[in-house]
Amino acid sequence: MTRAALDNLWARVESQRERVPAMYGKVDFRAIPERFTATPGDATALSGKYDRDRDALLADADRVEFIRAYTMIGDVTADAYAALMREHGFRALVDMLTNACDHGVENVPGAPPELVAFIKDMERIPDWLDMKLVEEGARVDRNAAANLGPFIIRGAFIATFMNKYAALPMAVTGTLSSQTAGRRVKDTATFFTTSVLPGALERFGPGFKSAAMVRLMHSMVRANVLRRPKDWDMGVYGIPIPQVDQMPAGLISVFLLSYKMIEEGRTQFTPRERAMVELARYRCFLLGLPEELLADTPQGIVNLMNARSGTLRSGYDDSTCGELLRATMAADLRPDDSRGARVHEIFELAFAKLFFVKSFMGGDKAKAASIGVKLTSGDVALAAVAGLFIYARMRLYALAAYIPGVRGIADRRLVAKLKAQLVSYGHAEFTTDAAQYRPSAAPVPAE
């Protein structure tokens, strides 16, 4: 990246102050928050086998500065709309956005300019977009979403708050009870499940609307938190939910794919892999991620994700991360109290525990137990049974995808399963209630 490009990026960072003064008017964007570190030897979110790449990351000063800048950027278009809460009220903003998604912003009576800009930003067609590839990516992803998704939604959600700097917005916004944590898990699952339905990401598709609601929810969190400077230490945590913190949820699957390809010596995606990547990229684009964060090559994706993780200071705070973790593990995700729902929960919980221990604790069961996730031998056995069941179903659907005449039938069954899952998750709220916010924990020395 050239110096001129970096200067332009910093100008965009600084422009937030003028564009959304109600939120960013007093923010010093050049200050480096504690969460960001480019110091060799510091512990960061880049751990395990990925940590070996940190020295090379830090050697690229331009990329480090690029990530530092994006650590201080919210979503200025959606933020400007969310900043109207005091003028229009929370419910009116949600209703107007819903109406704009369903009927077009031109049909929203009295639509404020900020809403028009919000919708127009989402309607913009990036030069690289190929909706046929996006649709193919959705078709490919439906197998995992339908068969693996229900078993990993809890475990995958935990990944979003294993770092105290990135997790604090979740804690401040009151996601610390099993009831509220359960709702957030279902909201997240609803968005990703909806996004792989046929035509979901088209302009008037349900995925487009869900993306708009997620963007508004994130911006409402920023707006409410930044109005409470005594409860949010900018010097420690920086901007709430910066753009770089939205990369892992949207790009983790293609990051793992890309890293595996690089280890295998491959540099080009297969057509099937390219479709999966384009689905992930466009989904993130609709969520407001700048195109500069949406690399389209294996090495580019790995470089950006590692740059984010390698500059996010490591830190686990039990009052934030631990409470969120335990609330999520205790959440009741059952749609009802039927026998089938209870049986599914038994296997799902065991699978989530094993997934967590393997993915985030390096297989250390004692360490996991110390923070509230006790993996027993019975859990391992149940998770193994669930794993065999999941693998068998996914394998059968994968094979069906290559058989003419069967492919369409199998895909329709997957779509039906996904729609049934959405019903079981209930109506996604994609909202945040400022009345439930709590003060952030007093800053503690970095670990």
DSSP codes of every residue in 287-311? TT--GGG---SHHHHHHHHHHHHHH
Q: What is the pLDDT of residue 240?
A: 93
What single-letter amino acid sits at 22? A
b vs e for 111-143, b when ≥16 Cβ sit within 10 Å of the residue's Cβ? bbebbebbbebbeeeeeeeeeebbbbbbbbbbb
- Tell me the percentage of the chain whose pLDDT exceeds 90: 69
pTM of the model: 0.90
From residue 172, alpha-carbon distances to 163, 206, 349 in Å are: 14, 29, 26
Q: What is the pLDDT of residues 358-371, one digit of tens each?
A: 877 778 899 888 88
Most confident of 73-87, 147-161, 433-447: 73-87
**What string of DSSP letters covers 26-48?**
T--TTS--TTB---TT--BS--G
Residue with tokens 């751990």: 47
Q: What is the pLDDT of residues 131-161, one digit of tens each?
A: 999 999 999 999 999 999 999 888 878 777 7
User: pLDDT confidence of 428, banded at 50, 70, 90?
Assistant: low
